[in-house]
Amino acid sequence: MYPVLIRIGPITIHTYGVMIAIGFLFALYFAIRQAKKEDIESNIITDLSFYILIAAIIGSRLLFIFINLSYYISNPLAIFKIWEGGLVFYGGVIFAVPVVLLYVKKNNLKLWQIADIFAPSIAIGHAFGRIGCFFAGCCFGKTAETLPWGVIFTNPECLAPLNVRLHPTQLYESAGEFINFFILILLQKRKTYNGQIFLSYVLIYSVLRFIVEIFRGDLARGFIISGISVSQGISIIMFITAILGMSLLRHKKN
């Protein structure tokens, strides 16, 4: 693929970073659009979006480093090379949650209403981010020599194994997140209680991530028990949490 989009002298623009930026802009646009429909000022959404972005990048990088700790102990300078990929989405969520809670409390906002506004944006932002992963070669899939849609990475700057056919797991997840986004947009028109859209996002994504992990080939990501990756373990917890949350919020509404 093309991990570097532009290289002019000492200036290098990585495709991964560009896709993250595009995803953020799309996410911001849809969050502001929905907020206006609910009479929430756009500057509130803009400010919170930037805080979430910073927290998410830090958290997703730290979790990736933790999962691949032995490598980063041997290569400490690689910790800062986020343009090469290496962000674990769940780590971003874990760090973003307290930031959102503090901001919501400080500005006297309704937590679940804000969560619902951001849910489709998280999905579409993540979808573009995974395209960035594809260009960088990170989060690559298992070998798939006979797979018709398997991909072969040949660029030496890619993070994926070269010259071998792999499952395009980055695109699996990206496609799933685009579908998730459209489902959530449709659900917004049929929403019956605050929290419904966000928990629907968590429910759908946890299933998507669990399935995609089956085809992942970057074995350094770690396992919590035999055959279950860290992300799959978190997916199980998130799935159960979403089901319980939906039940509680629906009951509270009634």
Q: Using an 8 Å Cβ cutoff, are 112 and 195 in contact?
A: yes
Strand partners, 6: 13
Q: 76, 92, 71, 78: which is closest to 20 by C-alpha?
A: 92
Strand partners, 151: 166
What is the rounded CA–CA span in Å between residue 183 and residue 120? Answer: 9
Residue position matching structure tokens 């979403």: 242
- Structure-token pair, residue 221: 């990501």
What is the rounded CA–CA span in Å between residue 113 and residue 40? Answer: 10
DSSP string, 146-171: T-TT-EEB--TTSSSPBSSEE--HHH
Q: Per residue of the chain (254 residues), what is the pLDDT tens digit? A: 788 888 888 888 889 889 989 999 999 999 999 999 999 999 999 999 999 988 888 888 887 777 677 777 777 777 776 655 566 666 777 888 899 999 999 999 999 999 999 999 999 999 999 999 999 988 899 999 899 999 999 998 888 899 999 999 999 999 999 999 999 999 998 999 999 999 999 999 999 999 999 999 875 445 567 778 888 888 999 999 999 999 999 887 65
What is the rounded CA–CA span in Å between residue 62 and residue 93? Answer: 12
What is the rounded CA–CA span in Å between residue 248 and residue 254? Answer: 10
User: What pTM, to 2 d.p., does this model score?
Assistant: 0.86
Alpha helix (H) residue ranges in the chain: 15-37, 42-67, 69-74, 89-106, 111-136, 169-188, 196-214, 230-253
Q: Using an 8 Å Cβ cutoff, are 250 and 243 in contact?
A: no
pLDDT of residue 220: 47
What is the rounded CA–CA span in Å between residue 246 and residue 75? Answer: 43
